Amino acid sequence: MTLARFLVLSVLAAALAAPATAQQQQRVYQWKDASGVTHYTDTPPSSAHQTRDIDVRTGTTAPSEPKQAAESEQCTNARANLKRLQSGEPIGYDSNGDGKPDRNLSADERKAQTELNAAAVKAFCPPGKS
């Protein structure tokens, strides 16, 4: 194969590959931090932030299929704790830190822990799932 033929074939192959590369969708994420500052990035923010897809060519919100937000570890733990607290079964309390429960939670302690974990579910779990 001659050098000229090789160059022509290389340029042709590159020209054919260019449209496919140009048509790949680029994702840009927009989110607001706790201070209300809007951020734009090409890497997804943490699951604690609500996201939307933006078409980078037009700047408009791109249609996207609904996604199931992955639950954070805090959300999973808060849900499990709340379920157990609401079950009515005795819950042991380790007051001296030896890893063994010394007594069961009192009714007031159970109520306080239930309220605390219900608040944690609101804070850490995706909206719409309770």
DSSP notation for 96-115:
SSSSS--EEPPHHHHHHHHH
State if pTM tops 0.85. no
Element (H, E) at 39: strand 38-41
Domain ranges for the chain:
26-67, 73-124
Residue 46, CA distances (Å) to 3, 29, 39, 105, 121 in order:
51, 11, 13, 35, 17
Number of neighbours of residue 54 by Cβ within 10 angstroms: 18
Under a CB-based contact definition with an 8 Å cutoff, are residues 60 and 51 in contact? no
With a CB cutoff of 8 Å and minimum separation 6, the contacts of 49 are: 31, 32
- 5 is written with which tokens? 């033929």
pLDDT by position in tens, the chain (length 130): 566 666 656 666 666 655 554 455 566 677 777 788 887 777 777 666 666 666 767 767 766 555 555 778 889 999 999 999 999 899 898 988 898 999 998 999 999 999 999 999 998 888 765 5
